[in-house]
Amino acid sequence: MTIATGKKKEKIDRLAELAARDDERGVSLWQEAFRRLRTNPAAVVGAVILGLFLLVALVGPFLVPHAPDAQLWKDEVRENIGYIPGPRAENWFGVDHIGRDEFSRMIVGARQTLLVGVVATLIGLAVGSLIGGIAGAAAGLGGRWGRAVDNVLMRFIDMLLAMPSLLLAISIAAILGAGLTTVMIAVGVVSVPVFARLLRGSMISQSNSDYVLAAVSLGVKKPKIALTHVVPNSLAPVIVQATLTLATAIIEAAALSFLGLGNNDASIPEWGVMLADAQRYLDAAPQLAILPALGIIITALGFTLLGEAMREALDPKLRK
């Protein structure tokens, strides 16, 4: 196992351990975290960025001035002399290489980017939580046979963690073929080991809590303890990680689209595809590459700022 993989595992396990600790003053973990988030400038900036992104992605496509696939200004494009109309009154961001309004495509592309990021994260969250939940319950409450099950599942997860995430996503996308669904599955699979190990670690920490020992002594069945008590109290770090995973999902989805493994329907704009298409026209219209790149960077930054702020807010060492 590489040093990088070991550090990655330690970081995940650390978050699970921190979120599993109780507040000695009896204040709810989420109440205290929310209080600290409101006074954290990074969290506020991240929330503002995400709020604007969600507004644009959900409402913007209904307000765009032109259809994103309409080639209304194709006659004005002169590829032979390297001329593509830039920003002007009727086209705020200019037009692309086949005469489509770039502003409309950026707005509609935000929805596609959000769709890919959310669905990919949900895939990773669902599958990872299933594996991590089984492993955590088996290790914390299953005795000798439970530890054997946990060992098998975690060795599989370790193999996935040991592979570079982008390389794993590219491999999966190459096997399944290019397409939007392929990108969602590939990026979702990459995040499975993170969620699995995180939930497992949190559940193991919760399994040593007093309320679990009390439930066991009262004769409550262990599957019921795991489902109704341990799992609900172990979800805090998983929710935090989902916010961070959205940022990486957007970047990795854009990378797959840039490599030609993403959406193959040219009529549906997506920031990664737009960035790939613009590479041939950097001299004539650099804004065609700069705008989708900025969209990806700023959106990922928003998710990262909010996710890191939530991680800090859950750290009991920083709670006063």
For residue range 265-304, list pLDDT tens digits in order: 777 888 988 888 888 888 888 889 999 999 999 999 999 9
pLDDT digits (tens, 9 = 90+) for 204-226: 888 877 888 888 888 888 788 88
Residue 272 and residue 182 in contact, taking contact as beta carbons nearer than 8 Å:
no
Whole-angstrom distance between the N-terminal and C-terminal Cα of the chain? 38
Considering the chain, what percentage of its residues have pLDDT values greater than 70?
Answer: 89
Residue 77 placed within a domain: no
Q: Provide the total of helices (H) and of strands (E) in the chain, helices listed first.
A: 12, 0
pLDDT at position 295 is 92
Residue tagged 């080639």 (tokens): 71
Higher pLDDT, 18 or 95: 95
Confidence band, pLDDT 50/70/90 cuts, at residue 160:
confident
Residue 228 placed within a domain: yes
Angle at which helix 41-59 crosses helix 287-313, to 10 degrees, equals 130
Higher pLDDT, 301 or 319: 301
* Averaged pLDDT of the chain: 83
Residue 199 placed within a domain: yes
pLDDT at position 4 is 61
pLDDT at position 8 is 59
Residue 76 placed within a domain: no
Quick one: the chain helix, strand, coil %, rounded to 5?
A: 75, 0, 25
pLDDT at position 142 is 75
Quote the tokens at residue 164: 């570079």
Phi-psi domain of 26 (left: phi exceeds 0; alpha: psi -120 through 50; beta: other): left
Confidence band, pLDDT 50/70/90 cuts, at residue 20:
low
Residue 311 placed within a domain: yes
pLDDT at position 203 is 87
Higher pLDDT, 113 or 8: 113
Residue 279 placed within a domain: yes
CATH code for position 143: 1.10.3720.10
Angle at 240 between CA 239 and CA 242, to 5 degrees: 65
pLDDT at position 23 is 44
Q: Under 8 Å CB-to-CB from 197, ≥6 apart: which residues?
A: 9, 12, 13, 16, 132, 154, 157, 161
Residue 60 placed within a domain: yes
pLDDT at position 24 is 43
Residue-number span of the structural domain to which 191 is assigned: 55-68+93-318
Measured CA to CA, the distance from residue 301 to residue 294 in angstroms comes to 10
pLDDT at position 316 is 55
Number of structural domains (the chain) is 1
pLDDT at 317 exceeding the cut of 70: no
Residue 68 and residue 101 in contact, taking contact as beta carbons nearer than 8 Å:
yes
Measured CA to CA, the distance from residue 252 to residue 166 in angstroms comes to 7
Residue 236 and residue 314 in contact, taking contact as beta carbons nearer than 8 Å:
yes
